[in-house]
Structure 1
Amino acid sequence: MLGYCGSDPATASDAPSDVAAYSLGRVAESLVGLLDELGVARAAVMGHDWGAAVAWRMALAYPERVERLAVVSVGHPECGAAAAGIEQRRSWWYLFLFATPGAEAWVRANDWALLREMLGSAGGAPPDAMATYLQRLGQPGALQAALRWYRANHSPAAIASTRIRHGACPLLAMPVMGVWPSSDGVLAEAQMTASAGFVADLRLWRYERLEGAGHWAQRDAPNELNKLLLSFLGQDFGDAAKQDNGAQVQQQRRQERSRL
């Protein structure tokens, strides 16, 4: 992911100082540019957490480039806050903290006490994984870049939203799979299941509840998650995926792209 820089060239990424570079729209645009560079017309797009948010944006803004979409934990952008209960909203105080100038000092304080508690309670990070996370975030520029994701994309108005606006976004006409880990302490199941309302044909929607996994499902249940993803990649959606009620829906999306 953009910004999670490091000293290892195999895993490092760019970490621009411009907050706007981390907006979902800009990152999705960059991914489309990568497809162009590779000569790939359409791709199966998958993501978790921020990666899922980018995947949704890419499918909404560039539907002609997304053959199918798989998202883990994070549902449709119209569903996240609106489908959350009051207790869930109270647990999102960190979104405001991370977006606040100077939050880096709070996050680092007392040997990363805040992140140790958050990463442990949300997904039960084992000690070795926790040490790796903190070591990488402690590298020069890494924490600042990670927080830019929150500063670029979270607004108080969006977090406070209580209504799912079904007409706010074009419907998706490609196959979509939503996976929600049953022990996810960050996001509620309702925001994933409600995402079905943004798929043009329910025959294209698939929902999977991953039992026993926490928010970081790819760490907690890698084999089970991989089986779901491979199954989805090989799934034949028949006429539902071949119909190009497509043409009209895709045109609508292209017209709305500038609004996303």
Structure 2
Amino acid sequence: MILNVLFMLKTTIPFICGALFSAPIYYYVFDNNLAETPVNKIERQIAPSLKIEQPSEMTQPLNNATNEQALLEKISMLEQKLADERETHKTEIAEITAGVMSELEKRVKEIELDAHQQLNAIMKKLQKPNDNHFAEQHLAQNRDSNWAEQTETQIQDFFATHDYLEHITLNNIDCRQTLCKINYDISDKFETPHLFEHQLKNAPWHKKFGSSQSTNSQGKVILFVEKQSNSL
């Protein structure tokens, strides 16, 4: 009898211990399964797919567009502000502009007057002396025999060899100290005077002279030439 009781205890004690040990685990698992409803289970399954991603490169165009729009709005605001400032100072700007234009017109007139005066001065300097001036100066000079004879010879040689001998006739050459008076006739009144004058100015002896003055009356020419100060 006692042996039977011991045998039963020997077999039941491990069973009871095992049940006690596994009961909390079973309760935890079973209770969690009962607590999780079908809706919770579905939410748990789809939650990973609903995870919000952090901003990535795909959002950059949107950000850039937003920044560009903000910049355009700022520019528009500044332009409007500038327009308002201009309208505010419109009268002041008009007064300043009128003053500047008045001063500019005054300065332009001064420049024009100054330029006109300078031009007149230059024209007076370039204006060739009249016949009376050369004639009076020529008569007042003494004759420099050495220079006068040498120059008269060069002029005579030119008149004897130029290209318009049939239309040009040399009458007289009178050289003094710095001036020479040349008298000659021109029979052709068309092209010859201009062509001869061009050839005359390019003659070697003529290049030694600085100023010159000529008159032509009915084909009779009186030419005065004055040598340069550094000419021999």
Q: TM over 0.5: same fold?
A: no
- Greater RCO (CA < 8 Å, at least 6 residues apart): 1
Higher helix share: 2
Q: With structure 2 as the length reference, what TM-score do the two structures score?
A: 0.22
